[in-house]
Copies of this chain bind each other. A is one copy, B any other.
Amino acid sequence: MPKMVVVGTIAFDSIKTPFGETDSTLGGSASYAAVAASFFTKPGIVSVVGSDFPEKHLRFFESRGIDTAGIEKAAGETFRWSGEYGMDINIARTLETKLNVLSSFSPKLPEEYRKADFLLLGNIDPELQLKVLGQMRKKPLLVIADTMNYWIENKRKKVLEVVKKADICLMNDSEARQLFGTPNLVQAAKKILELDSRLAIIKKGEHGALLCTAKGCFTAPAYPLENVVDPTGCGDSFAGAMMGVLAQSGDLSEDSFRRAVMYGNTVASFNAEGMGLQRMLALSKADIERRFREFREIVRF
């Protein structure tokens, strides 16, 4: 039984950045999050793929200790996303989204996933996130939910319900500003805390992340990367690695969350150094530990 379950998309991504190009490679929020988590724990994936999805990708997940029992194979084609990044590599322009089998997806958790202690609701329709929550046999120790501007614009009430039900709802700075109608991130974090969240984590892309509790804030820097090759999946890698670390230790103290956020930043920074999942696949645990330690020097004063 996996300690940690990741719900999200599996996709074929076609990405173009000033530094490289991929065509129909494995991607999607669940793929990035599960691969990032796999450095620390053996997560299970809940997602859907089409009949065109090659066995080799499933074998690949399994080779990393990722449980694939929750990946449903539906008739039709796998979800496809294509996007492009310009010289300001932080801004993605979506060229095409083909939902395919994702459009009629209704997640059904394998029985052994329903008692998982750690549940990561990756960026999918908030109604699906709520459906997954309803299938759990017991309240997980920790539920982290991710979201995006598209859902905030189109299903604001459902997103707020997810924020309320999850322990932590991840959003980036512009999403938090949009959802709570304030340009001030500390104010947005306070509003997240008022919605019953144990702590608020706001992702700030190249500026790192902000973690706030009722007691105060932790500012987590991003790794000062000189060469960002492809930022696709960085938010998912951040969430996956963060929760993987927490699932591994089982420690939910604030100090443990601070370290987990820094592991999230570490793995996400590596992810940005290669096209698609490439850099993460070449990564060792020692690489991660080295950069994690480097972060202490980066913030020292």
Chain A residues engaging chain B, CB cutoff 8 angstroms: 87-90, 183-187, 190, 204, 206-208, 210, 212, 216-222, 224-228, 255, 258-259, 261-262, 295-301
At the interface, is chain A mostly helix, strand, loop or mixed? mixed
B219 touches A301 (CB 8 A): no
B210 touches A219 (CB 8 A): no
Closest 10 CB pairs of A and B: A219-B221, A207-B207, A258-B301, A217-B224, A88-B183, A186-B226, A299-B299, A186-B224, A262-B301, A219-B298
A224 touches B219 (CB 8 A): yes
Question: What is the count of identical protomers in the complex?
Answer: 2
Instruction: For residue A242, give the distance in angstroms from its CB to the closest CB of chain B.
Output: 12
Nearest opposing residue in chain B for A89, CB measure: B183
Residues of chain B within 8 A (CB-CB) of A190 are 226
Distance, CA A46 to CA B226, complexed state (A): 38
Distance, CA A206 to CA B255, complexed state (A): 24
Distance, CA A255 to CA B301, complexed state (A): 7
Residues of chain B within 8 A (CB-CB) of A296 are 301
Mind listing 9 A-B residue pairs with CB under 8 Å?
A88-B183, A89-B183, A186-B226, A204-B207, A207-B207, A217-B298, A219-B221, A220-B301, A261-B301
Instruction: For residue A180, give the distance in angstroms from its CB to the closest CB of chain B.
Output: 12
Distance, CA A297 to CA B216, complexed state (A): 9
Distance, CA A295 to CA B218, complexed state (A): 9
Partner of A225, one of B186, B224, B258: B186
Residues of chain B within 8 A (CB-CB) of A208 are 207, 219
Residues of chain B within 8 A (CB-CB) of A206 are 185
Residues of chain B within 8 A (CB-CB) of A226 are 184, 186-187, 190
Instruction: For residue A179, give the distance in angstroms from its CB to the closest CB of chain B.
Output: 15
Instruction: For residue A89, give the distance in angstroms from its CB to the closest CB of chain B.
Output: 6
